[in-house]
Amino acid sequence: MEDLSIFNIRDQLKISKDHIIEIAENTNQFATHLAKSDSERQKLKNEIIANVEQIHKNYEPHMPRHSTPLTEEKNSVKGSLNLFLGENVISAKGIPKLEEWPTFSGQGEYNHIEFIRTIDMFQKDFNIPDEIIVGKLHSLFTRTAKKWHYKMGMDHGKHDWSWWKSEVITKWANNSWGFKIENAFENSIFNSEKDKPLTWFFKQKDRLSALHPDMSDTMINVKILRKCGQELEHAIKIRCGEPCSTEDYINAMEDIIPRTRIANTCTTNTKINEVQVIEGTHGTEEKEESDQDSAVSEDTPVEDYPIENITAFFEVTDVHTHLLQNSEDRYNLINIQYASMSKTKPARAKGYTAGASCITSILMNDIEAKVNLDTGAFCTCVGKDYLQVILPGWKNHLLPIEGVQFSSSSNNMYPLGILDTNIVFPHPAGSIRMKTEIVVMDNCTSQHIILGNDYLNIYGIDINNNKDRYFTIGDKKRQKFAFSNMPKQISVVSSVKDTYRNEFVSNKLVEAQINP
């Protein structure tokens, strides 16, 4: 009877085992949800194990304590449960935290390829299901990409990670993005005074990797080295040899640049200039001693070089870009590009409405006046009628002018003399005074002073016609002067009546008898 009861117990344990295994198999469908909470998963595991142990306790009094078959069945059930839950426990604990995942904004010089590859690597290394990855996308997308992800989810519903990868590539790998990244790489020339080798090198590598995902590291390094200048590129290749890793190239750059003058666009020494100012005069004995000490050994630091041994090195990249236009009869027209507009173009046949004047306010003898910055005028001039308004006693201050002829686009101009005066450009940060010689014209009808190219050139006045129109004076580029808000109207160029012709018509021609 005892053996029969043992067999009955064993059959019941098998039934319990099958029931537990069935429960474990049904639980597999929400294993991903259990991975989110270690405490809940561990609690469920403990409850199942407790139920199994309770079954064993219920049957334990009816069988010997040293029964081997029952112990084996108990260990087998417990082992199957651990095998089922164990893998998920280990995998869930190894998943990176949310802040360790890459983010993607879809703005600026984004790299969607690196974003996709990083998530693929996480999925492969940690056995992350698609459901978890797709659930994290709302937190991984930011700014523009976040709005796009929300709209795509509303329009297309739930999809796996492979579908989202395809949509990201379709959306963000466009021609505009490729042109922006390629243009940024082409314009990035290494400058040892501004760029750090490590940051600059990896920035260029990220750009090339985004543009050409299948390009080898060797080819990427070759393209990046070409942006360093011929001398620095040659020095790095000699130091490292070919082929070489990215880290070796960066180490070579960091070692070569501080030790040599390679890649320096301009080497200056302000300390030497201070010495020249303070110790600018030398006696005869001091000069002879300096001549004897002018020899520099190889171990002498650069900052201890005498003044006569200091040499500035200049390196200009893209030489043709910095050259001025040649005034030749024939031009070799190549690489013609459309000029970019800084403002919205008016409607067709309304382009003239975008015009603006270059008139600004000045002070002359503490009286406000108008001046036109006219780059088309040869010299600075003013009409006598307008000068009479702002300076009634101007005739007493004229300097003589002889043997000079002036003309405008319509007729001759007749000078009366030169007015030597000062004009002031007011500014809240500090006004600027200019000493000028203005030619007073007899037949100029302009209701403002014309500041011509003579003083525009002498004082370095630059007119900026970008989005914000302003002008600067000299090297004070941050001090901007605004133009007056003149009413928009079309200036009609009218010919000035000739005084001598009027006298001829009124006195001589009126007496002549001319048949109609």
DSSP annotation string for 437-492? EEEEESS---SSEEE-HHHHHHTTEEEE-SSS-EEEETTEEEEEEPPP-PPP-PPP
Contact 424, 431 (CB under 8 A): yes
Q: What is the mean pLDDT of residues 162-180?
A: 78
Reported as a single tens digit per residue, the pLDDT across 396-417 is 888 888 878 888 877 888 899 9
The mean pLDDT value of the chain amounts to: 72
Q: What is the mean pLDDT of residues 106-128?
A: 80
Residue 290: pLDDT band by 50, 70, 90 thresholds?
A: very low
Reported as a single tens digit per residue, the pLDDT across 415-459 is 999 999 999 999 888 889 999 999 999 888 889 999 999 999 999
> At residue 217, does pLDDT exceed 90?
no
- The residue with greater pLDDT, 213 or 314, is 213
Reported as a single tens digit per residue, the pLDDT across 452-504 is 999 999 999 998 887 778 899 988 888 889 888 654 444 444 444 456 666 66
Give me the pLDDT at residue 12, please: 66
Residue 271: pLDDT band by 50, 70, 90 thresholds?
A: very low
- The residue with greater pLDDT, 317 or 500, is 500
> Hey, which bits of 347-397 come out as E strands?
359-364, 367-373, 381-383
Residue 510: pLDDT band by 50, 70, 90 thresholds?
A: low
Give me the pLDDT at residue 146, please: 86
Give me the pLDDT at residue 263, please: 56
Q: What angle do CA 46, 50, 51 make, to 5 degrees?
A: 120
Q: Is the peptide bond before 426 cis (omega within 30 degrees of 0)?
A: no
Give me the pLDDT at residue 494, please: 42
Cα gap 480→460, rounded to integer Å = 13
Residue 249 tokens read as 């190239």
Residue 169 tokens read as 């590539």
**Beta bridge pairs of residue 470:** 464
Q: What is the mean pLDDT of residues 329-357?
A: 72
pLDDT-above-90 percentage for the chain: 8
Give first-to-last CA distance, the chain, whole Å. Answer: 155
Reported as a single tens digit per residue, the pLDDT across 77-108 is 445 445 444 444 444 456 888 888 888 887 77
Q: Residue type at 130?
A: D
Give me the pLDDT at residue 386, please: 92
Residue 211: pLDDT band by 50, 70, 90 thresholds?
A: confident
Residue 506: pLDDT band by 50, 70, 90 thresholds?
A: low
Q: Give the contacts of 236 (CB within 8 A, at least 6 positions apart).
A: 225, 228, 249, 252, 253, 256
Contact 41, 89 (CB under 8 A): yes
Residue 236: pLDDT band by 50, 70, 90 thresholds?
A: confident
CATH class of the domain whose range is 358-487: mainly beta
Could you give the C-alpha distances from 430 to 50, 356, 425, 473, 478, in angstroms and in order?
86, 26, 9, 12, 12
For residue 301, the SS3 value is: coil
The total of other beta-carbon atoms located within 10 Å of residue 93's CB is: 10
Contact 294, 309 (CB under 8 A): yes
> At residue 286, does pLDDT exceed 60?
no
Question: Rounded to two decimals, what is the model's pTM?
Answer: 0.36
> At residue 371, does pLDDT exceed 90?
yes
> At residue 368, does pLDDT exceed 50?
yes
Give me the pLDDT at residue 172, please: 73
Cα gap 249→197, rounded to integer Å = 9
Q: Residue type at 318?
A: D
Cα gap 159→172, rounded to integer Å = 19
Per mean pLDDT, which range of 94-98, 146-150, 330-334 is the poorest? Answer: 330-334
